[in-house]
Amino acid sequence: MTLTFPPGFLWGSAAASYQVEGAAQEDGRTPSIWDTFSHTPGKTLGGDTGDIAIDQYHRFRDDVRLMSELGMGAYRFSVSWSRVQPTGRGPAVQRGLDFYRSLVDELLAAGIQPALTLYHWDLPQELENTGGWPERETAERFAEYAGIVADALGDRVEFWITLNEPWCSAFLGYGSGVHAPGRTERLAPLRAAHHLNLAHGLGAQALRAALPARAQIAISLNPAVVRPLTQQPQDLDAQRRIDALANRVFSGPLLRGAYPSDLIADTAAITDWSFVRDGDLAAIKHPLDALGINYYTPSLVSAATGDGPATRNDGHGASEHSPWPGSERVAFHQTPGERTEMGWTVDPTGLHELLMRYTREAPGVPLYITENGAAYDDKPDADGVVHDPERIDYLRAHLAAAHRAIADGADLRGYFLWSLMDNFEWAYGYSKRFGAVYVDYPTQTRVPKASAHWYGQVARTGEVADV
C-alpha cells in the first residue's frame, strides 16, 4: 500500500548548531554552556566536544547541495546565541550573523525552505555565570536576542521556532545534570522551566514586532507519551505526576495561560511558585502560528516499591539525581519491543497519540513533527555503501502513524527528520549516529545512507510506499 500526504506537506531535516557547526572559537564566538560542559572531564563519552563537530560552518554550501540532491524541501537549523551575541547581551557580532545570512541565502537558492530555531540548548556561558535559566534576566536577554536575529533574517526566513525542547534545558540541565550546565538541584529546574516559558512568550512578542505578517512563530516541545505500568491507582497517579512535569508544565501556560494545579501541589515542598510574576502567564500565552512536536519513544511508569531509590529507565541518561522534582518516587520501566541504539523502544503509536492529543488541546494550531528519527550502529560495507534498513523501517512506520493522524483529523503540515547527518550527540559524543547521511569524522566525508535516498524519494513524491 502507498500512503499519499497532502499537497504542500513540508519534508525536511533538522540539526542543532552545537552538534554540527564546529568553528567553536572563530569569528567572535564565545563559549556556550555546552562548550564548558563538554570540556569538563567525565561529562561526555570519551571527552568528545563540538569544537569541530561536522564542520558545517565551513562546509555548509556542500551540505546544502547534498540536501538539494536528496530532495529535501526544508532545513531546520538553530542559531548559536554566543556566535551572534557573545555575552548574551549588547550588540550583535555581524560576522556571526553573516554566517546565518549566507546559510539562508544558500538554502533559498537551492529551493529549500529555512526553518530557524533560536535556541537549541547552547546558552552563552556568560549568562549561565549570572544564574542561567533559573534567573528571570535570561528570559529578558533572550527576547533581545530574538529581535536581533529577526532584524537580520526576517526578510528571508518565514518559519521561526523560539525554543527546542525546553524540558531538556530545564530538567536535564538543572535537575539530573546530564545536560549542560550540569547542575543537580530541585528548585532550579522548576524556575528554569518557567523562565524558558517566559523566554518563549517575550521572544515571540519580539519576533512578532520585527517580522512580516506572513512569518510563522512556533515552539518545539518534546512531550512525553506517559503510560502506566498497571491500572492500579498508584500507577495512574505516577502517570499523572510525570505528565504534569513532562508535558503540562509547558502546555498549561502556553495554551491555557496557567500552570496545572496538581503540578503546583506536587512540588509544594520545593517551591510556592512565587517566581511567577503578574503578567508572566499572559506573555507566555502568546498566540502560536504552529506547534512543533518532537517524538522518539514512549515512557512507562509506576509508583516505586520498597524504600530504595526508584528505578529510572527514563531514557534520559544515567545520574544519581532525578530530573523529576517532587516525583522522585516514580519508577520508570523499559517499554517492551525492538530498541534503537539509544535503548529507546520503537513504538510509532506514541507519535499518533501525541498528534491527536495536541489536536485536541491546541485546536486551530497547525502541527509539525520537528524531530523524529533513530540511532543505529551504521557502518560502510566493503564497497563504502551504508545500508540501514532498520532506520528505513523506523521512518516508514512513523510516517504511517503521522498519515493516520492526518486521516483522524490532525492538521499536520510537515515532518523534519532527525537528523540529516551524523553529528555530536550531546553527552553521548560521537558514539550515536542518528543521521541519514554517514559522516566519517576524521575526514569529514559525507556518505548518504540507504535511508537518505529512501527519505529523499518520499520528500520528492509525498508518498510512502509498502506500508
**What are the φ and ψ backbone dihedral angles of 428, each rounded to 5 degrees?**
-85, 0
The Cα 183–Cα 173 span in angstroms is 6
Distances (CA, A) of 390 to 3, 387, 457: 20, 9, 17
Three-state SS for 213-243 is CCCEEEEEECCCCEEECCCCHHHHHHHHHHH
CB 333 within 8 A of CB 304: no
Query: Buried (b) or exposed (e) across 340-362, using 16+ Cβ within 10 A?
Result: bbbebbbbbebbbbbbebbbebb
Within a 13 Å sphere around the CA of 131, how many CA atoms are in the beta-carbon half?
13
Joined grid coordinates for residue 37: 560542559
The Cα 256–Cα 398 span in angstroms is 29
The Cα 375–Cα 390 span in angstroms is 9
Catalytic site residues?
165, 371
Query: Buried (b) or exposed (e) across 260-277, using 16+ Cβ within 10 A?
Result: beebbebbeeebeeebbe
Within a 13 Å sphere around the CA of 337, how many CA atoms are in the beta-carbon half?
13
